[in-house]
Each structure stands twice: as C-alpha cells, then as structure tokens.
Chain A
Amino acid sequence: MFEWIGISPQALFGQLLLGLINGSFYALLSLGLAVIFGMLNIINFAHGALYMMGAFCAYFLLNAFGLGYWWALVLAPLIIGVFGMVIERTLLQWIARLDPLYSLLMTFGLCLVIQGVFQNYFGSSGLPYAIPRELSGGQNLGFMFLPNYRAWVIVFSLVVCLATWFMIERTRLGARLRAATENPTLVRAFGIDVPRMITLTYGFGVALAALAGVLSAPINQVRPTMGADFIIVVFAVVVIGGMGSIMGSIVTGFLLGVVEGMTKVFYPEASNTVIFVIMALVLLVKPAGLFGRTA
C-alpha cells in the first residue's frame, strides 16, 4: 500500500507512534503552561526543569522507597506540585504585580538552579527506569508492532488532558477559575479566595509537568538535561497554538508531535527544526496563534 512512496509501513507507523508520544508530552506541558498563564499571567520557564524533577521523583521513589511506577504516577505529581506551590508562595507571589517579563526572568533563574543542582549530582548521563511489568510486551497489529507501554502513554495523556479540559470548561470550580482569570478583584469581592486559587493553579500546572516526566521516564531515561531543550520546543508549540484556549493547547500539542514524527520519515534533516519553521509560518499568517485570541 505504501510502497509507491518508497517508505515501509513499519517506519511510517513507528514514527507516527513516536510522534503521538512526543505529542502527548507537548500537550501535557503546553496545557500546564496555558493553565498557569491564564491564572498567573506568567510563562513558567521552570516547566522543563519541573518535568525533569517529576522523572527523578519517580526514580527516587523506586530506588529509595521501593515504590513502583503506579505509586510514582500518583505521588510524583503530588510531591512536585507541592514543591511548585512552595515556589509560588515564597517567590512568585511577590512579583505578581510587576511586568510579566520579571516572572519570566525569575523562573528562568529557578530553571538554572534546579538543573544545575541535578547536574552536579547526576552528571549528564541517563538513569534507566524500567517499564512496569503490567505494561511490558506489546501487540502485533499486522502492519506494525505496538509496545503496550507506548499505547498506555498516549491513551493516559489524552484522558488527563480531556479531564483537565472538562474540569476547567464544564465544572463549577472551573467556572470560578475562569471568572478569576477575567476579573480577580470582582471574584474576590464575592468571597472567593483568589490568592489560594492562584497557588493551587500553579501547583496543578506543575503537577501536569511532573506527570509528563513520570510518563517519559521509561521511554527517554531520566536525565538532568531532559527538560532544557524540550521546553523550548514546547514554547514554540504554545506560540503556534496560542494560549487562549485549553482545547487549543491539547490539539496543537498532539498535532505537532505527529507532524514532527512524519518529518522524521520524509525529510529527517528537518525533524529538529520543523516545529520552529511552522511557528514562523503561523506568525506570518495568524500572529495570535491558531487558537489564540488577539492579545
């Protein structure tokens, strides 16, 4: 069926799968960035470092406490999320009224601190993290081999993303959240504790990053530098999608993962840069981003 383009179906579907995996991480990370941006009006530069911390947290839970993958999937986002809330309370809240560029600089500083500390203790080499027993092996679909763990990552990320969308767009809590984004002063006048909501939102966004970190640990190994270059691509994804809509972040994330995977099949030389090129094109045609509101 695919012979006419000279590409084997194994390679094509293999890269499609990898693209969807990367897309899951893009979606989870850009979703977290969008949630944080909506509430705090800042871009969290430390997001990549916190994603890395999520993976390391899973590694420590296993090697220090003997708590396996399933525990890590619950505990790591909680622990890193609390860590994020501490950052918000101790540092970010003091600069909330300043130009958002200052919070970009501060979170960049935090990113350097976190990454530097981990690099001191673990160097740059990767630490292995085994795929959980329940998800090892795979299915032979005839045209390709589908490892169970990879299928799990895609399905689980999709579920988490859609649950987040449902919570923000369709529940009472989400309605308050959106109202507080629009007009914090008025929402406070109704007796809702907006500063606490801000802290929890930051913690939630960070928890999403940590969750992505746990999911990627068995695939990409656990490395101190795993978040640094990755987050720059996520920034490009955010620029392409625009941060106005939750669903927009999810769709753009998965879509660009697939585009990147397909580029690896058809024109491998450009696979590192294709997302940046798309960003440039989107800026030319629709500067606000595909799903962005004019800002």
Chain B
Amino acid sequence: MSAARQVKGIAARPVQDEMIGFAVMVLLLVVVKITGLVYPYFIMQALCFALFACAFNLLVGYVGLLSFGHAMFLGIAGYVSAHLAKVGTISIGPARLGWTIDFGPWPPEWAILTGAVSAGVLGLVVGLLAIRRQGIYFAMITLALAQMIYFFCVEAPFTHGEDGIQSVPQGRLFGLFDLSNVTVLYTFVAVVFLLAFLMIYRTINSPFGEILTAIRENEARAVSLGYNVDDYKLAAFVISATLAGLAGALKAIVAQNASLTDVHWSMSGDVILMTLVGGLGTIFGPVVGAVIVVAMQQYLAAFGQWVTVIQGVIFVVCVLAFRRGIIGEIAHALKRSL
C-alpha cells in the first residue's frame, strides 16, 4: 500500500457529521447568549473545562495514555497567567538573592499565552519521564508528579498558598476590547474555545493523528513499521499539556482567580469523569461531558460531599455498563463517527 493512497483514504473520510456537530455547537453558543437562558459565567466556565477535557481526551482517547495528573497543567497555567496579569514580575534565582524584573501587569493575551506555554514546558518535562512506562504505571507516574507540583504550589511564594491569587484584573485584549464587559469576555472565550477545538480536530485527523491512533491500537506494530513511538507520544503529551494550560489560563482570567483547587488530584479526577461520561475517543464527547459535570457540581453544590459520592457512583456505573459514554453511544447507534 502506497503512502499516497493512505493519505487519500484519510481525506476521503466523511466529515459531514462533524461539521454539522460543530455548527450546532456554534449555534448553541450564540443562541444561549442572545436569549440569556443560562448565566454567561456558567457557560464560560463550562467552555474552559470543555477545552481542558478535549485536551485530555487527545491523549487518552487517541494515544491511549491515561494521565492521572492533568490538573497540574490546568493549575500551573492558571497561576502563571493570574500572576502575570495581576503583578507581572518575573523572578530568577532563589528568594532575596536572585533578580526580579518588574514588567507591571501584563495584557491578557500575553498572560494567557505565557500561561499555556509554561504548561507546555512542564508537559515536556513530565512527558519525558512518564512515557518511559506504559499503562497503569503511566497513570501512577503522572499522578505522583502532579502531587509534587501541588506541593510546589502550596509552598511557592507567588501562588500565595491557601489564599491563591485573588481579584485578577481582566484587562483589555490587544489594548482594544475591555474583557470586564460580559459580552466581550463571552465572545473571546467562545472564539478561543472554538479555535482550539478545531486545532484538536485537525490534529486528530492529520497523518500525525493517524499514527497516534496506530500507537494506541498496536504499539509494537507501530514500532515495527519504523515509527519512533516515543517521539510521537511526547509530542502528543506536550500538545495536550499546552491546550490544558490554555484552558487553565483562560479560566483564571474568567474567574479572576487561581487557587489550589485547580492543581489538586480531584481536578484530575474531574477531567477523567468528564471525558468518560461524554465518551472516550470521541470528538464532541468531552464537551458534552464537561457541561454535564460542571452543571452537576453547580446545581448539587448544596449537597456538599455527596457530590463526590455521586461522582464516584457515576465512575463505577460508566465503567460497568456505559463505557462508550453519551456521544459514543449515540455515534454507535447512528453508526457515525462523532
């Protein structure tokens, strides 16, 4: 089989369903804002988590690597962008001995971008370590390294420990758009989410994405075909970490704070739940799952710790009887790929 035919095969895959799905998503975002049916901050928060879950799904759904520490990327990017947007100092070296450069508060676009990039750099380091093992070891290693980052965030001076970084200014995007205006902020978050979503979609459906799927299906075979599997895994890990960081940075600007909740292991559990409920390895599943889990946490908040119990039960039920997730079941019933 020639390479040209393979590439043609990919291009010929019907993408109509996904385009309809994407159009529905855009339409919903517009309708919800105009009609004011749902509180816009809820949608923005859900979009941040949806992006987080999509980034996570890129790794677990298409490479078969279950990261149990993705909260570290969400959290660290949130801290970096919140710090830059509010204080804007960069310190090099140990406390009191190193240099501190004071840039003043950064504009939001640079704060968010730097946040995402720092998550990507962390992803590179963690990825280099974690991809040395597979399967459950990979999950345990990412979990342990994320816990290390959690302790770092508890102790590091710029994160302000238990208090977190509060009242982060939203600033003016490109010096033009005032992000403290709800409509402007909503549009910004929606556009960033949709662009990132398209980027993930494009990655999955590229020759690179096909190789990732090949690694998931049969790693030994991919090696025997001459692919350097570790390089592909690392690249996917860094992309996933960067996009998870983008979600965290965006979330910090929307919620105007960064706190330890976002670095804690329970956040890593939340994103797994979102992806599992929506459908592992589906394009739209993580988005649906994120909206459901965020809504559940919002509306059941009065029940306190029972929310944790409910989430645990959903985990067990999903694994026992509902492994395809919502979108996966729909796609299976319609015999489509969604």
Task: Give A contacts to B, CB under 8 Å.
Answer: 42-43, 91, 94-95, 98, 100-106, 108-117, 119-120, 228-229, 232-233, 235-236, 238-239, 269, 272-273, 275-277, 279-280, 283-284, 287, 295
Contact = CB atoms under 8 A, between A and B. Distances in A.
Contact of B320 (A95, A100, A115, A233): A95
Nearest to B154: A272
Given A94-B320, A239-B144, A101 B129 contact: no
Nearest to A272: B151
A284 B129 contact: yes
18 contacts: A104-B139, A106-B315, A108-B272, A109-B314, A112-B308, A116-B311, A116-B312, A120-B304, A120-B306, A120-B309, A232-B143, A232-B144, A232-B147, A233-B147, A238-B140, A239-B137, A275-B144, A283-B130
B144 A236 contact: yes
B221 interface: no
Contact of B269 (A108, A275, A284): A108
Interface in B201-240: none
A43 B151 contact: no
Given A94-B320, A100-B136, A235 B152 contact: no
B309 A112 contact: yes
Nearest to B272: A105
A104 B312 contact: no
B66 A120 contact: no
Interface string B138-150: 0111011101100
Given A112-B269, A272-B151, A287-B133, A43 B319 contact: no
A113 B269 CA distance: 13
A75 B311 CA distance: 31
Contacts of B141: 239, 279, 283
A277 B152 CA distance: 12
Given A235-B140, A238-B140, A109 B133 contact: no
Contact of A276 (B148, B276, B313, B314): B148
A290 to B, nearest CB: 14
A106 B309 CA distance: 13
Nearest to A102: B319
A36 to B, nearest CB: 12
A257 B314 CA distance: 36
Contacts, number: 121
Of A105, A269, A276, A284, the most chain B CB neighbours within 10 A belong to A105
A109 B152 contact: no
Task: Please give me the 3 A-B residue pairs with the lowest Cβ-Cβ distance, nearest first.
Answer: A109-B315, A112-B312, A113-B312
A280 B129 contact: yes
Given A112-B312, A113-B309, A117-B309, A276 B144 contact: yes
Question: What range describes how many residues of B lie at the interface?
Answer: 35 or more
A279 B144 contact: yes
B323 interface: yes
Interface of B: 66, 68, 129-130, 132-137, 139-141, 143-145, 147-148, 151-152, 155, 265, 269, 272, 276, 304-309, 311-316, 318-320, 323
Contacts of A94: 320
Contacts of B133: 239, 283, 287
Given A101-B135, A239-B144, 6 more contacts: A106-B316, A108-B269, A109-B311, A236-B140, A239-B140, A275-B144
Contacts of B311: 109, 112, 116
Nearest to A111: B312
A100 B135 contact: yes
Contacts of B319: 95, 102-103, 105-106, 109
Nearest to A243: B137
A273 B156 CA distance: 13
Contacts of A106: 315-316, 319-320
Nearest to A238: B140
Contacts of A112: 269, 308-309, 311-312, 315
Contacts of A109: 311-316, 319
Nearest to A279: B144
A235 B144 contact: yes
B317 to A, nearest CB: 8
Of A109, A235, A275, the most chain B CB neighbours within 10 A belong to A109
A273 B148 CA distance: 6
Given A239-B133, A287-B133, A43 B140 contact: yes
Contacts of A102: 319, 323
